[in-house]
Copies of this chain bind each other. A is one copy, B any other.
Amino acid sequence: MSVEAIRSLAEGTLMKFGADETNAKAVADVVTMAERDGCVSHGLFRLPGYVATLKSGKVNGKAKPTVTKLAGAVVQVNGHNSFAPTALEAGRPALIEAAKTCGIAVMPLIGVHHFAALWTELEPICEAGLAAFACTSYKPSVIPAGGKKALFGTNPIAFGWPRPGKSPMIFDMATAVMARGEVGLAARDGHTLPEGVGVDADGNPTTDPNEILKGALMTFGGYKGSSLSMMVELLAGAMVGESFSFEAAARDNNDGGPPQGGEFLMAIDPTLVRGNDGWNDHAEGFFDKIYEQDGTRLPGDRRISNRAKHDKEGVEVSQIILDKISAL
């Protein structure tokens, strides 16, 4: 499928289930960006989940987010039960302006339903010459270090660095050690998993993927990853004034789509923080030092080369996913 055909399919499907053009376009954009960059798990694969929340009424496909300047460097967006991409688009111009005025600015998102990859959100901010950071929580599937019961979401963290004239460098990683889907694949194929991936239903560490599916995941990097996951809960929860993962789960209707939650997003102007324009040459010299070593790459390099290929050749989309979308 061409990139434009993917966008039309996503937008048309969402509008068929009651989303207005603004909401449908915002979600179709992030679905399309994901397919274009080869991030299949955040592409059309998510469309049935988005539709489920429209059908159940959990998400308001006609929501009109409100943008409120709470302080000079704080641009709050209340989605009023919108999909997160709609709220992000509503607030982005004000966030960029605040960061370019104050040097740094934060955009707390409340009343949104998050189901997209964070890098899709940072890219337009980085394209505006800003560094950016975002994190969000979800529903509990990950134990805190030393504990036995899921409390944290998979809690991704993303950071982007602008590279004028090039695609920005963006990493976007779950603080969970791996996705539940990967554990499912290991179970299907009869593989055991390394230690440190998960616990069984009683909270005891195990390498058996079937037991982990009944239990919970761990964070990456042991207690260090656990600290980061806790930071995500605090920033996307208490800091912005939205649900912690455990609160989101308690309120959710389990329709298969994302629960209501918050997001913490931040933009930084390196020209203002440094006091001059030297940051770009300086950073590029550092990236050169990474590339100098065989076997290294920058986060996102694979996505960016997928993008060039898919723009030219189109994207191969699984027939199973297309059938599921038709069946909606």
User: Interface on A for B, CB 8 Å cutoff?
Assistant: 68, 70-74, 76, 101-106, 108, 131, 143-149, 151, 159, 161, 171, 173, 220-222, 224-225, 227, 230-231, 233-235, 237-241, 244, 246, 266, 268-270, 272-276, 278-280, 282-283, 285-286, 289-290, 293-297, 299
Known contacts A101-B71, A173-B224, A151 near B293 by CB under 8 Å = yes
Q: B220, B230, B273, B278: which contacts A224 (Cβ < 8 A)? A: B220
Q: List 23 A-B contacts (CB under 8 A).
A: A71-B101, A72-B103, A76-B273, A103-B105, A106-B268, A108-B273, A131-B239, A144-B296, A146-B295, A146-B297, A147-B290, A147-B295, A161-B234, A171-B227, A221-B225, A230-B290, A234-B286, A238-B270, A238-B274, A238-B283, A241-B276, A244-B285, A246-B286
The prevalent SS among residues of A at the interface is mixed
The 6 closest A-B CB pairs, nearest first, are: A221-B221, A74-B103, A71-B103, A147-B293, A73-B102, A146-B295
Task: Return the contact of A273 from the options B144, B151, B233, B240 (Cβ within 8 A).
Answer: B240
Cα A289 to Cα B249 with chains together (Å): 14
Bound-state CA distance A237–B161 (Å) is 13
Q: With CB as the reference atom, state the residue of chain B lying closest to A100.
A: B71
Partner of A274, one of B102, B147, B239, B289: B239
CA distance A104 to B75 in the complex (A): 11
Q: How far is the CB of A272 from chain B (nearest CB, A)?
A: 4
Given contacts A74-B102, A148-B295, A159-B231, 16 further A-B contacts (CB under 8 A): A71-B269, A73-B105, A102-B102, A106-B268, A131-B234, A131-B235, A143-B293, A144-B293, A146-B296, A147-B290, A147-B293, A171-B227, A238-B282, A239-B279, A244-B286, A246-B289
User: When the two chains form their complex, are residues A70 and B272 in contact, meaning their CB atoms are under 8 A apart?
Assistant: yes
